[in-house]
Amino acid sequence: MKVMVGGTFDPLHDGHKKLLKRSFEIAGRNGFVTVGLTADGFANRKSHPIRPFEVRKSELTEFLNSAGYSGRYEIEVLNDRFGSALESDFDALVVSEETFKTGVEINQIRKEKGQKKVDLHQITCVLADDGKWISSTRIWNGEIDNKGRIVNKK
């Protein structure tokens, strides 16, 4: 099965890892996962600093290679919310609670273009120790670490 997933992945945290793990589970042993990684220009819309694309790509590649997933993958540059998802031949899109609306929009545009709809697989966001979502913004703000543990501020 061909699966797509995307994000900024900075810093790479347990919520991202759940999203990626689910993508490879859906793709299966002989499947293929396209991981969209936001380009610097597109990523800079975030409210916190973003490390350069090549740094994020290197960290993401290191994680994917060490995770032991059986499927193959490629990392593509995302210059917008859709990447190649509007034209590519694939079967499923893995999204979070935050990005589900974008998945619905992708399917709507695909339908308008005469493309087949793809299955949307939504994961639940991973909660930090305080019961709130793990997010890159919270990590950059120093509230939590990338595993969702509360950072002790002195």
Question: Domain map of the chain by residue range?
Answer: 2-125
Superfamily in which the 2-125 domain is placed by CATH: HUPs (3.40.50.620)
Task: Name every residue whose Cβ is closer than 8 Å to that of residue 27 and which is 6 or more positions away in sequence.
Answer: 1, 2, 3, 33, 71, 92
pLDDT in tens, 55-90: 999 999 999 999 999 889 999 999 999 999 999 999
Q: What is the CA radius of gyration of the chain?
A: 16
Give the separation between CA 97 and CA 119, rounded to whole angstroms: 15
Residue 113: phi and psi, rounded to 5, are -90, 0
pLDDT-flagged residues of the chain (< 50): none
Question: Per the confidence metrics, is the pTM higher than 0.85?
Answer: yes
Q: Report the pLDDT value the prediction gives residue 52, as an integer from 0 to 100.
A: 96
